[in-house]
């Protein structure tokens, strides 16, 4: 694929070399630069400093807070990944109100919403011409409804930006796996979404695919998808399986402290990505995607900034049993500092419920979260922190604080329209007549926030210890953030003490519960909420009274999305079962026998 928006290497680099390039005649590479053979590390560092975002990437970065809306057939089945066999009739929200979503999100400070127009189950939330598997075949509004349109209209009314998630992986489309046919099908869907709903600001292509070794193999035509977006919505950013916005690498709301938007990671939609990223031994989940060590080895560099996607609940879709597990204010605050405060955009998922409304618990938490941020940001204690400071390596600048300042947060910003440059900095406070270290960091980028103990000071001193060309510091601010207590975790997922349990077989895992009990659910909770290649993905669950005669309990047999979101997954049974022994026969995402430990299993007793 051709990289669009690529500007030519400027004459001063091609000609006399770097010596001739002064700060005045600084030239930039929009979105991408290739390092010609023989480029020295010093030259690469200088070029890296001048890779800049496209106008839409810059606008996107400034959004800071964006919201995901996972809504669809899974909302009505209780699953995280539907398998495409669902009856579309079951989609029937009783009081869907897209204005309720947008109004609440707007009031909570969110600047864009992205709707799962189609998730992996293939069910379309708009009346598409491409398949019957859509709202048109549902009971909702007698098949005359269009969720995408309702959301679009609400966004227009409230001045909210609007994006669509369209899953490439489709478990319903009969042509999925017949590559040319499905690619056309996907382009037709994309064309409808990008033609009939006004401006679309972000197009989100999920990379997830749980087909496994024996599943259908679809070769996606990313180039054609890319061109469709360029043609129909040239101002939209293309996320994840796209080259404008990069997946941070986890679904826990955790960015990197060192986060380079100018990165050596080649976007997955480019044919050369496997070769490039393979040679550098990196992927989306790597810690280092932009250091000098990486630059030394890389042949090209991209402006490909990070987006942190995470759900306000354990799952991406609404499940009533998670109503008590909406993330705490403390957790959301940490996520905020570890996303927006780590040079990323936060994409927080708030899934509408079966009524078609954002649940009261989520709204209450969003309001708390917004109030917390507003209170903190209301007073910036730094005087004149908004003056542009062009800082050479080693430069320091003092900032006067307002009288009687008590602070515990510092915020720094680079003018990324001129590239991302800072590699290391320190901040000191003038306390009791002397300079005292307050905090230090590596990258800044669009925004970096640091928290530290409450400090009363008269002045701050920021030092740029290492930078790629002169840094353009456009904001230095300081705030006071109220302490926020963690509420005790009420997310109990095991209702029977393991003291009396015994593992009688390891593979598959058989547990003697020590007594015969009535069960209505079991839970699989990967240890330390961490994914590993040996974890369970597909499974069968059996119960027995004597450890010899086994009865399989009907389940959907899949811990959907557990690889990316390794949180406890509770499987509710259709009816209560009696068990003294339980057996979990599971395979990994690559279809080898899974290794599950007793401590990773919980049971829920029937009342």
Q: Is 322 in the site for ligand FUL (CB under 6 A)?
A: no
Q: Output the smallest distance, CB 565 to ligand FUL, in A.
A: 7
Map the footprint of ligand FUL across residues 76-105, applying CB under 6 A: 80-81
Task: State which of residues 91, 197, 303, 316 lies at the interface with ligand FUL (CB under 6 A).
Answer: 316
Nearest residue (CB) to ligand FUL, 148 versus 476: 148
SS (HEC) of 176-242: CCCHHHHHHHHHHHHHHHHHCCCCCCEEEECCCCCCCCCCCCCCCCHHHHHHHHHHHCCCCEEEECC
CA proximity to 510, closest of 567, 550, 557, 562: 550
245: DSSP letter: B
Does position 561 interact with ligand FUL (CB under 6 A)? The reply is yes
Per-residue binder mask for ligand FUL (CB under 6 A), 256-295, x = binder: ----------------------------------------
Q: Cβ closer to ligand FUL: 202 or 380?
A: 202
Angle CA 387–393–394, to nearest 5: 90
CA distance 240 to 207: 7
Minimum CB distance to ligand FUL, residue 366 (Å):
19
Asked whether the beta carbons of 77 and 109 are under 8 A apart, the reply is: no
- Cα–Cα distance, 40 to 57 (Å, whole number): 28
Residue 113 C-beta: closest distance to ligand FUL, Å? 14
Residues near ligand FUL (CB under 6 A), total: 8
Instruction: Rank residues 316 and 446 by Cβ distance to ligand FUL and give the closer one.
Output: 316
State which residue, 93 or 253, has the beta carbon closest to ligand FUL.
253
Q: What is the edge-to-edge ordering of all strands in the sheet holding 434-441?
A: 389-391, 471-479, 396-414, 448-467, 422-431, 434-441
206 scored as a contact of ligand FUL (CB under 6 A) = yes
- By CB under 6 A, the residues from 18 to 37 that bind ligand FUL are none
Q: Could you tell me which of 303, 373, 304, 382 has the C-alpha nearest to residue 335?
A: 373
Nearer of residues 168 and 305 to ligand FUL, judged by Cβ:
168
3-class DSSP assignment, residue 285:
coil
Looking at the Cβ atoms of 316 and 342, the one nearer to ligand FUL is 316
Min CB(309)–ligand FUL separation in Å: 5
What secondary structure letter does DSSP report for 530?
-
- Minimum CB separation from ligand FUL for residue 116, in Å? 6
Cα angle value 220/225/231 (rounded, 5°): 165
Q: At closest approach, how far in Å is the CB of 119 from ligand FUL?
A: 6
Q: How far is the CB of 208 from ligand FUL (least distance, A)?
A: 3
Residues 310 and 253: beta-carbon distance below 8 Å: yes
Distances from the Cα of 571 to the Cαs of 114, 212, 321, 510, 521, in angstroms?
28, 21, 11, 17, 5
Cβ proximity to ligand FUL: between 208 and 232 the closer is: 208
Q: Contact, 122 vs 40, CB < 8 A? A: no
The enclosing H or E element of 303 equals strand 300-303
**Which of 9, 208, 370, 496 is in the footprint of ligand FUL by CB under 6 A?**
208
Which among 361, 364, 314 is positioned nearest to 491, based on CA atoms? 314
DSSP letter assigned to residue 252: B
Let me know how long the chain is.
Answer: 607
Distance, CA of 150 to CA of 414 (rounded, Å): 38
CB of 500 to ligand FUL, least distance (A): 36
- Least distance CB 383 / ligand FUL (angstroms): 42
- What is the nearest approach in angstroms of ligand FUL to the Cβ of residue 561? 4
Question: How many angstroms separate the Cα of 139 from the Cα of each of 76, 91, 92, 306?
Answer: 12, 7, 6, 39
Q: Cβ 78 to ligand FUL, closest distance in Å? A: 14
CB closer to ligand FUL, 85 vs 434: 85
Nearer to ligand FUL, 306 or 467 (CB): 306
Q: Which of 309, 428, 585, 600 binds ligand FUL (CB under 6 A)?
A: 309
Residues 43 to 82: which contact ligand FUL by CB under 6 A?
80-81
Residue 207 or 508: the one with the smaller Cβ distance to ligand FUL is 207
Distance in Å, CB of 167 to ligand FUL, minimum: 7
When CB distances to ligand FUL are compared, the closest residue is 208
Q: Which is nearer to ligand FUL, 344 or 467 (CB)?
A: 344
Query: Contact residues for ligand FUL (CB under 6 A)?
Result: 80-81, 206, 208, 309, 316, 561, 564
């Amino acid at each position: 694929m051709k990289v669009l928006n690529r500007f030519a290497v400027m004459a001063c680099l091609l000609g006399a070399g770097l010596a001739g390039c002064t700060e005045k005649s600084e030239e930039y590479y929009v979105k991408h630069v290739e390092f010609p053979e023989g480029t020295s590390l010093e030259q690469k560092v200088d070029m890296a400093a001048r890779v800049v975002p496209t106008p839409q990437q810059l606008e996107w970065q400034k959004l800071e807070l964006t919201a995901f809306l996972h809504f669809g057939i899974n909302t009505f089945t209780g699953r995280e990944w539907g398998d495409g066999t669902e009856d579309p009739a079951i989609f029937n929200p009783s009081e869907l109100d897209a204005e309720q979503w947008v109004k609440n999100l707007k009031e909570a400070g969110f600047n864009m919403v992205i709707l799962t127009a189609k998730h992996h189950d293939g069910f379309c939330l708009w009346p598409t011409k491409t398949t019957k598997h859509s709202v048109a075949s549902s009971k909702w509004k007698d098949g005359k409804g269009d969720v995408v349109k309702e959301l679009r209209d609400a966004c227009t009314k409230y001045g909210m930006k609007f994006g669509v998630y369209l899953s490439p992986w489709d478990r319903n489309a009969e042509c999925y796996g017949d590559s040319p046919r499905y690619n056309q099908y996907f382009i037709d869907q994309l064309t409808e979404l990008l033609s009939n709903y006004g401006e679309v600001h972000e197009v989100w292509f999920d990379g997830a695919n749980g087909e496994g070794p024996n599943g259908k193999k679809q070769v996606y035509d990313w180039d054609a998808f890319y061109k469709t977006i360029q043609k129909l919505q040239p101002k939209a950013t293309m996320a994840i399986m796209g080259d404008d916005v990069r997946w941070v690498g986890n679904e826990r709301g955790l960015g990197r402290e060192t986060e380079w938007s100018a990165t050596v990671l080649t976007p997955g939609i480019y044919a050369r990505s496997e070769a490039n990223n393979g040679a550098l031994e990196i992927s989306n989940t790597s810690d280092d995607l932009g250091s000098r060590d990486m630059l030394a080895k890389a042949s090209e560099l991209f402006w490909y900034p990070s987006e942190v996607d995470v759900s306000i609940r354990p799952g991406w879709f609404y499940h009533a049993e998670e109503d008590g597990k909406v993330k705490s204010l403390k957790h959301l605050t940490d996520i905020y500092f570890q996303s927006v405060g780590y040079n990323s955009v936060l994409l927080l998922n708030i899934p509408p419920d079966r009524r078609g409304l954002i649940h009261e618990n989520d709204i209450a938490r969003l309001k708390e979260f917004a109030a917390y941020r507003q209170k903190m940001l209301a007073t910036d204690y730094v005087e004149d922190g908004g003056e542009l400071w062009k800082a050479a390596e080693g430069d320091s600048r003092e900032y006067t604080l307002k009288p009687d300042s008590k602070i515990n947060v510092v915020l720094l910003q680079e003018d990324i329209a001129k590239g991302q440059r800072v590699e290391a900095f320190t901040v000191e406070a003038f306390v009791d007549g002397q300079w005292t270290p307050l905090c230090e960091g590596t990258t800044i980028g669009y925004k970096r926030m640091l928290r530290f103990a409450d400090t009363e000071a008269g002045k701050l001193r920021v030092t740029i210890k290492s930078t790629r060309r002169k840094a353009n510091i456009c904001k230095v601010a300081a705030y006071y953030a109220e302490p926020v207590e963690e509420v005790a975790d009420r997310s109990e997922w095991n209702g029977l003490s393991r003291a009396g349990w015994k593992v009688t077989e390891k593979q598959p895992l058989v547990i003697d519960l020590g007594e015969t009990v009535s069960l209505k659910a079991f839970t699989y909770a990967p240890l330390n909420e961490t994914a590993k290649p040996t974890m369970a993905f597909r499974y069968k669950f059996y119960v027995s009274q004597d450890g010899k005669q086994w009865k399989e309990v009907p389940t959907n047999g899949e811990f959907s999305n557990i690889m990316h979101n390794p949180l406890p997954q509770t499987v509710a049974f259709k009816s209560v079962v009696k068990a003294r022994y339980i057996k979990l026969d599971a395979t990994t995402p690559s279809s080898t026998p899974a290794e599950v430990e007793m401590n990773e299993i919980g049971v829920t007793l029937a009342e």
